[in-house]
Structure 1
Amino acid sequence: MSEHERTFVMVKPDAFARGLVGEVISRLEERGLKLVGIKVETMPRERAEEHYGEHEDKPFYDDLVDFITSGPVVPMVWEGQDATRQVRQMIGETDPLEAEPGTIRGDYALDLGRNVVHAADHEDEGANEREIAIHFDEDELTEYDQHDAEWLYE
């Protein structure tokens, strides 16, 4: 059996404004992932700059920071078997034009700059730990038994 892990997911301001927070959460819950941390906030600019720090030298960096701080976001931490890969598959390609129908971006996004949700990259080792630590203190994450775990995992 693969390892259970935590992964960072964030509903972006466009999805918040469109009333898609519940849809994103429902899809992840229905998949069997376990929600262990959640907030609603307008992200401070300093945290946004830290979050997108790896893009600081790219031409789209300022637009990323401006957008993510433009309205409420919902940072979350989800837990489950191969959670990062599971979530990345569910949200679809970064560019909604390349995202498959049935994925969150494939169903709800039209524009690269308004692609509904952010999720930690499973190919970037350490991305989860870094992003979770940027947005959550350890005492903000909850431990509990998932009541349907025996039906989700062998």
Structure 2
Amino acid sequence: MAERCFTMCKPGVLNRRLVGQVITRLENKGLKLVALKMMQITPELAAQHYAEHKGKPFYDELVSYITSAPVVAMVWQGDDCVSLVRKVVGATKPSEAQPGTIRGDFCSHTSHNIIHASDSDSSAEREIGLFFKPCEILDWEDSASCWF
């Protein structure tokens, strides 16, 4: 099976009506969308998702932002998926994100970063498990896969 990566369009993406553009950029890279849902993240889920940041100065602001409005959670699949998604998404700090990346084109403040993407295969597996049940992930037959 191909590699998978968890991504999440944060509240700013919905507020700015950019969800379609984010999905298009990942699809244009040849990645296959295998799970998608819009949801309101609870403080408990946010705490699990951002557990490695607990105790850091920005933790409370991070949890507050991610729970402030709905998000769009997604699972993408493809060869070298985590690496490809991270390249399309761009650097976490907006000042370091290259033009042409999602963050480089649409993000101006780290505290209101517009997208989350798993940073490793192990993170992807953990994050996918937090947001999706196995039955919600559909590994469908991609008849266009020969083009990517």
TM-score by length of 1: 0.93
Secondary structure class of the residue paired with 2:125: helix
Q: Which has the higher helix share?
A: 2
Match among 139, 144, 148 for residue 144 of structure 2 = 148
Partner of 1:139: 135
What SS does the aligned partner of 1:59 have?
Answer: coil
Task: Name the counterpart of 1:121.
Answer: 119
State the distance in 1 between where 2:87 and 2:24 align. 15
CA distance in 1 between counterparts of 2:142 and 2:110 reads: 35
Residue of structure 2 aligned with 1:11, choices 9, 12, 15: 9
Q: Distance in 1 between matches of 2:2 and 2:42?
A: 31
Q: Distance in 2 between matches of 1:38 and 1:150?
A: 23
Which residue of the partner structure matches residue 34 of structure 1?
Answer: 32
Normalising by structure 2, we get a TM-score of 0.97
Q: What is the CA–CA distance in structure 2 between the aligned matches of 1:94 and 1:51, rounded to whole Å?
A: 17
Corresponding residue of 1:107: 105
Runs of 4+ in 1 over 4 A off after TM superposition: none
Q: Secondary structure at the match of 1:29?
A: helix
Cross-structure match for 2:57? 59
Letter in structure 2 aligned against 1:70: S
Q: What's the CA shift for 1:41?
A: 1.0
Per the alignment, residue 48 of structure 2 pairs with 50
Q: Distance in 1 between matches of 2:82 and 2:12?
A: 22
Q: SS at 1:43's partner residue?
A: coil
- 1:85 aligns to what SS in structure 2? helix
- Residue in 2 that maps onto 1:84: 82
Shift of 1:44: 1.0
Q: What is aligned with 2:71?
A: 73
Letter in 1 for 2:123: A
| Gap runs ≥5 in structure 1 | none
Rounded Cα–Cα distance in structure 2 between residues aligned with 1:115 and 1:43: 16
